[in-house]
């Protein structure tokens, strides 16, 4: 085997898992099934809209609380770590844990399970009554059998229980409305 070809093959083998192609079924709008999910706290509904652009994954969150509508987005890169300002998480709003808007979360992301699971790890700066601290957050967005359901499992370095959110795919036509 020629050295050049060997290098190419070796490079492909070493390509980080995180940068491997994702399952296109992840793309689109997903709606939280509140009955099957960990209880939201201070939110009424949640949609997550996923878009892919090369190694980048944009996750937009459309949240409601009574008459309040909040839209926030995180764009993570499965090829490289990034510092993301205003990193959004589905927080428990009745806890005195506040985002620090002028600071960034250090975020890494990657694909698992053949591109069916998006892993995100983030060090999120937060403010509590004793001052500033960091919450380590681990998310897996798992595409379930059939591609019609998305499961988000979130772990906090500071929380004893996982937060488990079941989403169902909103059909493309309905999502446009």
Partner 1 sequence: MKRIILSLALILSLAAGLRGAEPTSAFVMHFDSDWRVAGGLPQKAMLISLQGLANRGTGQLYIIQPPGYQWEITEPLFEFYQRKHGVKFTELKTADDALTQFKSVPKGYVVWDKKVGPSLNVAFTISGLEDAVVVSEELIPLVQAHGLKQIDDLRGRYTGQTDAQIYQDAVNRYWARCNKDAYMLMGGQRGAVMMPGMADWGVKRKMFFHDLAANPEIPAELALERKLLSQLNPGATAFGWHPYGKDTEEQHTTLLSTYGYKMEGLHNLPNLSFNCWFTFTPGFKFTNNHSVAKDAKLVPQEKVYLSFVQSDGIGIGVWTKPGRGRLPLAWGAIMGWVNFSPAALEYFHESATPKDYFIGGLSGPSYMYPNSIPAARFGPLMKEASDLMAKLDERVFEIMDNTAADGNLGNADLTKETVDRYYANFPDVIGFINGYGPARTRDLRDTRPLISYDYYIDPRRPREEVTADINELIALNPVRPYFLLVHVRESNDVNSLVNVLTQLTGPTEVVPLDVFMKLAASKQTYVTRYQHPDDPKHFKGF
Of positions 24, 65, 81, 83, contacts partner 1 by CB under 8 A = 65
User: Is there binding between residue 158 and partner 1 (CB under 8 A)?
Assistant: yes
Of positions 8, 16, 21, 42, contacts partner 1 by CB under 8 A = 42
- DSSP letters along 35-74, please? GGSPPPSS-SEEEEEEEEETTEEEEEEEEEETTEEEEEEE
Options 28-36, 54-62, 64-72, 108-116: segment touching partner 1 (CB under 8 A): 64-72
CB-based contacts of 167: which residues, under 8 Å, 6+ apart? 30, 31, 32, 33, 48, 149, 150, 151, 152
Per rule CB under 8 A, count of chain residues that contact partner 1: 30
Both tokens of residue 62? 């459309």
Cβ(142)–Cβ(154) under 8 Å?
no
Which residue, 101 or 114, is less far from partner 1 as judged by CB? Answer: 101
How far is 28 from 164, CA to CA, in rounded Å?
20
User: Is there binding between residue 71 and partner 1 (CB under 8 A)?
Assistant: no
User: Is there binding between residue 135 and partner 1 (CB under 8 A)?
Assistant: yes
User: Is there binding between residue 133 and partner 1 (CB under 8 A)?
Assistant: yes
User: Is there binding between residue 36 and partner 1 (CB under 8 A)?
Assistant: no
Options 13-21, 53-61, 62-70, 104-112: segment touching partner 1 (CB under 8 A): 62-70
Strands 117-128 and 149-156: unpaired
**Based on the number of CB atoms within 10 Å of its own CB, is 109 exposed (0-12), middle (13-18) or buried (19 or more)?**
buried
User: Is there binding between residue 37 and partner 1 (CB under 8 A)?
Assistant: no
The footprint of partner 1 (CB under 8 A) covers 38-39, 41-42, 65-68, 92-98, 101, 126-131, 133, 135, 156-161
């Amino acid at each position: 085997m020629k050295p050049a070809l060997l290098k190419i093959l070796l490079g492909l083998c070493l390509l980080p898992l995180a940068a491997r192609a994702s399952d296109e079924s992840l793309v689109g709008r997903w709606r939280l099934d509140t009955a099957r999910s960990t209880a939201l706290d201070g939110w009424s509904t949640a949609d997550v809209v996923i878009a892919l652009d090369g190694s980048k994954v944009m996750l937009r969150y459309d949240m409601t609380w009574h008459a309040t509508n909040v839209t926030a987005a995180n764009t993570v890169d499965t090829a490289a770590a990034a510092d993301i300002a205003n990193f959004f998480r589905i927080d428990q709003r009745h806890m005195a844990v506040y985002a620090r808007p002028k600071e960034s979360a250090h975020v890494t992301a990657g694909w698992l399970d053949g591109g069916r699971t998006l892993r995100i790890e983030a060090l999120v700066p937060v403010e509590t009554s004793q001052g500033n601290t960091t919450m380590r957050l681990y998310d897996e967005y798992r595409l379930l059998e059939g591609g019609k359901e998305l499961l988000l499992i979130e772990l906090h370095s500071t929380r004893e229980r996982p937060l488990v959110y079941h989403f169902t795919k909103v059909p493309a036509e309905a999502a446009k409305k």
